Amino acid sequence: MAKIRMGVMVGQASGSLGSTVFSHGRYGAYVRLRSVPTKATSNYAQQAKAFLAASSAAWQAYTTAQQLAWQTWAQGHPITDALGDQQVLSGHAAAVMLNTRLRHIAGTPITDPPTAVPPPALLTLTGSYDIGVGNFEAAFTATPLAATHQLQLRAAVVGSAGIHYVKNLLKLTETSAAAQASPLATIDVNIEARFGTLQVGNKVTIYANVIDNATGLISAPLIDSGIVVST
């Protein structure tokens, strides 16, 4: 699915054209391919669906005051979508977003919206991509992270150095311990668990952000990429 912004010639589009479906939701227009329902079979997909479902179901047990508090929080904390537009989530969507993040890192779900600010982004991120006797790791500053902060790593692996857009290929590969010190070592183990055996010449891109395990708030990511070598 991709978000779209209509131009001056088209104000709104709905319906399908061949295998392409145009529609409009709470957060704007989008286009997707007509899909045939499939069953998610990977452990990663099943776990992600379970976390999302648990976070959504928990909303029903919130008090009216808690639900109103989440709605107020969401109004003051819009998110930026793929087109760079700001979107205001519903209270339910905001609670699901933060609590799903917390479940992914084995954190404790929250029933009240956070009062803290998001953690600061990393100052620097430098990857090493050696599958030989060298290092395959992510070095970063500031180090170590704060007591309630953990490093999240998303990665993409492609076969050509000329491929630069990889956001649609990113997969969550690793979440560090709290107060992690640099470097985050042997990240190739978890990258290979998601993408298969790395080969010399592969291009690896990593996105690293900090997550607060008390609130589910995250920092903006830093990005690094490099070519796999072997020494």
Contacts of 46 (CB under 8 A, 6+ apart): 40
pLDDT digits (tens, 9 = 90+) for 77-111: 999 877 788 899 999 999 999 999 999 999 999 99
Is the confidence at residue 219, as pLDDT, over 80? yes
Report if residue 187 sits inside a domain: yes
Q: Are 7 and 51 members of one domain?
A: no
Q: Domains in the chain: how many in total? A: 3
Rounded distance between C-alpha atoms, residue 197 and residue 71, angstroms = 45
Contacts of 19 (CB under 8 A, 6+ apart): 33, 34
Which alpha helices (DSSP H) does the chain contain, by range?
A: 43-58, 64-76, 91-104, 188-195
pLDDT digits (tens, 9 = 90+) for 199-215: 999 999 999 999 999 99
Report if residue 83 sits inside a domain: yes
Q: Are 164 and 195 members of one domain?
A: yes
Q: Give the pTM.
A: 0.81
Q: Are 24 and 58 members of one domain?
A: no
How much is the mean pLDDT over the chain?
89
Rounded distance between C-alpha atoms, residue 110 and residue 211, angstroms = 15
- The residues that bridge with 150 in the sheet, in sequence order, are 211
The residue range of the domain holding 14 is 2-33
Q: Are 52 and 99 members of one domain?
A: yes
pLDDT digits (tens, 9 = 90+) for 144-165: 999 999 999 999 999 999 999 9
| pLDDT over 90 percentage in the chain | 77
Measured torsion, CA atoms of residues 33, 39, 43, 47, in degrees rounded to the nearest 10: 80
Angstrom distances, CA of residue 42 to CA of 98, 154, 158, 190, 194: 23, 18, 21, 15, 11
Chain position carrying tokens 């929080």: 73
**If pLDDT is split at 50, 70 and 90, which confidence band does 20 have?**
low
Report if residue 112 sits inside a domain: no
Q: Are 69 and 144 members of one domain?
A: no
Angstrom distances, CA of residue 145 to CA of 108, 135, 181: 19, 21, 6
